[in-house]
Amino acid sequence: MTQDEIYDQLRNIIKIYLPEDVSEENITPESHLVKELNINSSHLVDIVLDVEDAFDIEIKDTELEAMDTVSSAVEIIQNKINQ
Amino acid sequence: MQGNDFRNAQKIVKDLKNRVVITGLGIVSPNGVGVPKFLNSIKNGVSGVRFFPELQKLNFSCQIGAKPKVSEVEKTNYFTNLELKNFNSNGILYGVMAGLDALEDAGIQKKEISELPDWDLGVIFGTGTSGVEKFREAIYKLDAGKVRRLGSTTVGQTMASGISAYLGGKIGAGNRVTTNSSACATGTEAIFMAYEQIASGTARKILCGSCSDDGPYVWGGFDAMKVTTFKHNDQPESGSRPLSATASGFVPGSGAGALMLESMESASERGATIYAEVLGGHVNSGGQRLGGSMTAPNSVAVQRCIKKALSHSEVKPQEIDYINGHLTATIKDPVEIENWCVALGRDGSNFPYVNSLKSMVGHGLAASGSMEAVSAVLQLHHGFVFPNINCDDLHPEISNRIDPRCIPLEKIDVDLRTIVKASFGFGDVNACVIFRKI
């Protein structure tokens, strides 16, 4: 799976959790999930569950901490898939 | 303080109390979702009781029940898609719908996310138990060692105060936001708690009411106790028979009722439509003494609750035009009528009109008091008494005590002025409120 494919799929997962005043267009690779996209931090665990289901991987608590931006999430997912 | 001084002081305190009025109604009932549909159903005696194959499959004795019908599209009018993701709590669904409808009916705007909360607006919304289906999901995952798969919304959906938390957040309530729980007295108690808060001046507006979850996991315990009917599985609509000689147990139900209570001052300032004034009420317990128990009411306490509600409201028994009963369709209905007779000192043809919403929608458990209160206020406002269905064979102990004409089998158009609603719950707890048209 290419980085672009992972990014597109991740974007589709993230957009569900955007607050009403943030649109899908605001999502870029550099976006910080909580600070820039204003995603409620309690929903990060839900995003992780959706990612696990979508990519058939398991993300550890320590890795969750590193998933702060969209691009860092893509990187973690890519590494997991390649393992 | 001397006697006269004390009485004067009491009067001053009384005069300082804010008058409390109802400015909005919302309902999600098995026989009608939304006030217009519900109003039409109660005028015409439409039953919301149905047969549920699921209950038959699970070996329930009582395979009929009453649930509101809510479409997926309707849900999106009250919840965001994100909120509906992994959402599985019927009580919260019904409560949010009824609550937001009552707020809108009252003409009160929700606070936007960017605005400050409304410090004068509170929520007192009761329930029996929350998110039972969600809790079941969680238990299966937990037992499989997958606690991390519960997601972020399990707590919010399963905590008892889930309903008041959902509503409080949606409307931006900044006053007291809480959930009360007193079994089948919950809904009526919530109205009285809201009344007290506004009368004392600690809030100007309280969205109050109650809701109940439904389905086998809520209803199963009652089935096991044999307090539900097993005789009408093939005739669901005639299964709920309050006041009838052939009443054989209640039909389990669910839903939500909501009332916007507001100080008279606040309602007048806003030019709001006033459905009725809440004159007062009383909440008590029989202490599971004198024949009362976990499951049975104590008549002394029931009568006391009604009498105290009248005196608190400064209403004479003779002024009561209509009783919205608890009347569940068990063998205890004649006892309830007897208690009303004693408490009001009225019987025969001097008894007020009385009916039971449960004949149409079964027993909504924690939701029953608020759904029934909404039906009572609608009758007061529109001037009618809805028909009791399924009691053409009145229980002889009831017909010996009060004139059968007090129990309409067809809708009666009549100008009502002062009415009373009471609910009695497991744990020997009672709640009674009095409404007046102004």
Question: In this predicted model, which residue has the larger pLDDT, B49 or B10?
Answer: B49
Q: Decide whether B20-270 matches B280-436 in CATH topology.
A: yes
Output the domain CATH number for residue A78: 1.10.1200.10
In sign, the C-alpha dihedral spanning B56, B58, B59, B61 is: negative
- Report the CATH architecture of B20-270: 3-Layer(aba) Sandwich (3.40)
**Mean local confidence (pLDDT), B26-48:** 98
Q: B2: part of which helix (H) or strand (E)?
A: none
Confidence of residue A21 (pLDDT cuts 50, 70, 90): confident
Query: With 90 as the cut, is the pLDDT of residue B6 above it?
Result: no
Nearest to A49 among B81, B113, B149 (CB): B149
Confidence of residue B57 (pLDDT cuts 50, 70, 90): very high
Confidence of residue A64 (pLDDT cuts 50, 70, 90): confident
Q: Which residues make beta-bridge pairs with B402?
A: B348
Structure tokens at B235: 């005739």
CA distances from B210 to B268, B280, B399, B412, B434 (A): 26, 19, 33, 28, 18
CA torsion B231-B235-B237-B238 (nearest 10°) is -50
* CB of A17 less than 8 A from some CB of B: yes
Return d(Cα B421, Cα B124) in angstroms, integer: 18
Q: Could you tell me the pTM of the whole model? A: 0.95
Q: Which residues make beta-bridge pairs with B250?
A: B228
* CB of B85 less than 8 A from some CB of A: yes
Which residue does chain B place closest to A15, by CA atoms?
Answer: B82
What are the chain A neighbours of B152 within 8 Å (beta carbons)?
Answer: 42-43, 45-46
The CATH superfamily assigned to B280-436 is Thiolase/Chalcone synthase (3.40.47.10)
Do residues B251 and B361 make contact, with C-beta atoms less than 8 angstroms apart?
Answer: no
pLDDT of res. B423: 98
Q: What are B269-288's pLDDT values in tens digits?
A: 999 999 999 999 999 999 99
CA distance A49 to chain B (A): 7
> Which domain, by its residues, includes A25?
3-82
**Mean local confidence (pLDDT), B197-221:** 98
Do residues B430 and B285 make contact, with C-beta atoms less than 8 angstroms apart?
Answer: yes
Return d(Cα B195, Cα B192) in angstroms, integer: 5
pLDDT of res. B12: 60
Q: B158: part of which helix (H) or strand (E)?
A: helix B154-158
CA distance A10 to chain B (A): 16
Of B337, B332, B371, B374, whose CA–CA distance to B353 is shortest? B337
Average pLDDT score over chain B: 96
Counting residues of chain B whose pLDDT is more than 90, the rounded percentage is 95
Query: Can you tell me whether residue B354 is helix, strand or coil?
Result: strand
Counting residues of chain B whose pLDDT is more than 70, the rounded percentage is 97
pLDDT of res. B13: 59
Query: Can you tell me whether residue B410 is helix, strand or coil?
Result: coil
**Mean local confidence (pLDDT), B150-177:** 98
Q: What are A45-56's pLDDT values in tens digits?
A: 999 999 999 999
| Length of chain B counted residue by residue | 438
Residue type, B438: I
Which residue is it, tokens 């029940």? B65
CA distances from B155 to A45, B88, B89, B133 (A): 14, 12, 11, 13
pLDDT of res. B15: 61
CA distance A71 to chain B (A): 23
Q: How many domains does chain A have?
A: 1
Q: What are B344-396's pLDDT values in tens digits?
A: 999 999 999 999 999 999 999 999 999 999 999 999 999 999 999 999 999 99
The 8-class DSSP code of residue B122 comes to E
CB contact under 8 A, A45 and B80: no
Looking from the CA of A49 toward its CB, the CA atoms found within 13 Å total 16
Do residues B345 and B375 make contact, with C-beta atoms less than 8 angstroms apart?
Answer: no
Per domain, the residue ranges of chain B are 20-270, 280-436
Query: With 60 as the cut, is the pLDDT of residue B2 above it?
Result: no
DSSP E strands in B142-200: the ranges are 177-178
